[in-house]
Structure 1
Amino acid sequence: MGLRERKKEKTRAAILDAALDLFLEQGYESTTVEQIAGAVEISPRTFFRYFTSKDHLVLWFHDHGEAIMLDALAERPHDEPPFASLMSGLRAVLADLEESTPEDVERFLKLRRLFERYPHLVGLSAARSAETQRRLAAEIAARRGTDPDEDQFAHLIVAFALSAMRVGMECPRNTTSMAEIKERMAQTLEMTERCLRPGWDQQP
């Protein structure tokens, strides 16, 4: 990563940190983009170079996880069973969590607290997850040589995979330990693979 990219990532992280602190201290609805920008000593215009809105900011983990999964999926053999490819993508997300810095962990846990405090953000998260499901389903359909708008089975395969990740992330819901979250996610992925008959995802 070059100097310019490192500077951009540093600014992005600073915006995230300032926003999460303000959301938790004074409330999500009460916090403005101008306040977030002021806390980082940047202009609102600069803020919008990194995030399109406050809502986009709180969904940063979805953006990051989706990018990891799509990159991992692109590296898998096209003749590999689609669910196995998706599970490799989920394990790439888990590996990214394993490499988290203390700052990354703090951001993640603050975000969990934010979603618990403001249930309407859960709806935004669900809508963002649906976007990820559509993009992954399009990739799986392409491997199957089908139209993603018509291939319900491709969407079902992806839905099973993302459900495994969601259960791993959310159970137990009130944990404040990243180590426990990672352990439960790994256990859930293994459990999912044990529960499904090999070859089920290659049916028409």
Structure 2
Amino acid sequence: MNCAKRRKEGQGVNSGPGLRERKKQRTRNALLRAALELFTTKGYEETTVDEIAEAVDVSQRTFFRYFANKQEAVFAVQEMVEARFVEVLRERPAHETPLVALREAVLGAWEAMGQSIEEVVPVELHMSTYQMIESTPSLLAVHMRRSIETEDEVARVIAEREGLDMETDPRPRVAVAAFSGVMRVTGRLWGAGEDTSLESIRELTGQYLDHLGPALAQDWHTR
């Protein structure tokens, strides 16, 4: 076998897994999009795995290759967004104060994530899913539990940035708790509004985070 032929065959072998991975990713994205569309139009509890699989013309078994259950599909994109936020937070300049780093990280992550979300599902569908989670008691409970876990991870990142021991110094947890409280408030306000765009929640969050420091530090009484 000559060198040219070996190279050609080698390229064919190497390209196989790449093609398979892309096909698997397309199938996962299609299942995720179908699931979220059904959840947001029909309702989470009312939607079955069979209906999701049927919408993509695959078997129920195929769905379970990609998702352990419906709940995992609900939070798949949100998990990606949260992971990106933590990644961006780790990259913020060391001179920034914790609240500034948190603010810039969340706004920066959303700006960068718009394109990444679009590669999986439409941004509008992701935002509708967020509203659906807020209005579904069983999912809201899971969302709150996941938020607590994320807060703990973020507090550890802040502690590392500041060179603090989180077990003996409460400030990282206090700062993240205040930040997370603002995020929950703006999320509820945005969900109750008419503008469900990514830009809308980003702008609202920025406005409320700008008030966080002054609200905690200033005397509110009028003189």
TM-score range, shorter chain: 0.7 to 0.9
Matched, 1:65 2:85: no
Q: Provide TM-score, normalisation by structure 1.
A: 0.77
Give the gaps of 5 or more residues in structure 2: 1-17, 218-223
Report the residue type matching 1:14 in the other structure.
A
CA RMSD of aligned residues (A): 3.0
- Larger mean Cα displacement after TM superposition, 165-174 or 5-14: 5-14
Matches within 5 A, 1:101-140: 101=118, 104-140=122-158
Give the gaps of 5 or more residues in structure 1: 198-204
Q: Name the residue aligned to 1:202.
A: none
Q: Secondary structure at the match of 1:14?
A: helix
Shift in alpha-carbon separation, 1:76–1:172, aligned structure 2, 3 A: closer
- Report the CA distance between 1:7 and its aligned residue: 4.6
Shift in alpha-carbon separation, 1:5–1:165, aligned structure 2, 3 A: farther
Q: Is the 8 A contact 2:81 2:110 kept in 1?
A: no
Q: Name the residue aligned to 1:159.
A: 177
Q: Provide TM-score, normalisation by structure 2.
A: 0.71
Q: Name the residue aligned to 1:190.
A: 210
Q: Name the residue aligned to 1:200.
A: none
Report the residue type matching 2:200 in the other structure.
E
Report the residue type matching 1:186 in the other structure.
G
- Report the CA distance between 1:92 and its aligned residue: 1.6
Q: Secondary structure at the match of 2:122?
A: helix
Matched, 1:85 2:101: yes
- Report the CA distance between 1:119 and its aligned residue: 2.2
Matched, 1:39 2:55: yes
Distance (Å, rounded) in 1 between the aligned partners of 2:131 and 2:107: 24
Distance (Å, rounded) in 2 between the aligned partners of 1:6 and 1:67: 22
CA deviations on 1:169-188 (whole Å, 9 max, x unpaired) are: 22143224214333312322
Q: Secondary structure at the match of 1:173?
A: helix
- Report the CA distance between 1:78 and its aligned residue: 3.7
Q: 1:14 aligns with which of 30, 40, 48?
A: 30
Distance (Å, rounded) in 2 between the aligned partners of 1:46 and 1:151: 47
Shift in alpha-carbon separation, 1:26–1:87, aligned structure 2, 3 A: closer
Distance (Å, rounded) in 2 between the aligned partners of 1:9 and 1:184: 33
Q: Secondary structure at the match of 1:140?
A: helix
What percentage of aligned pairs have identical amino acids?
36
Shift in alpha-carbon separation, 1:4–1:113, aligned structure 2, 3 A: same
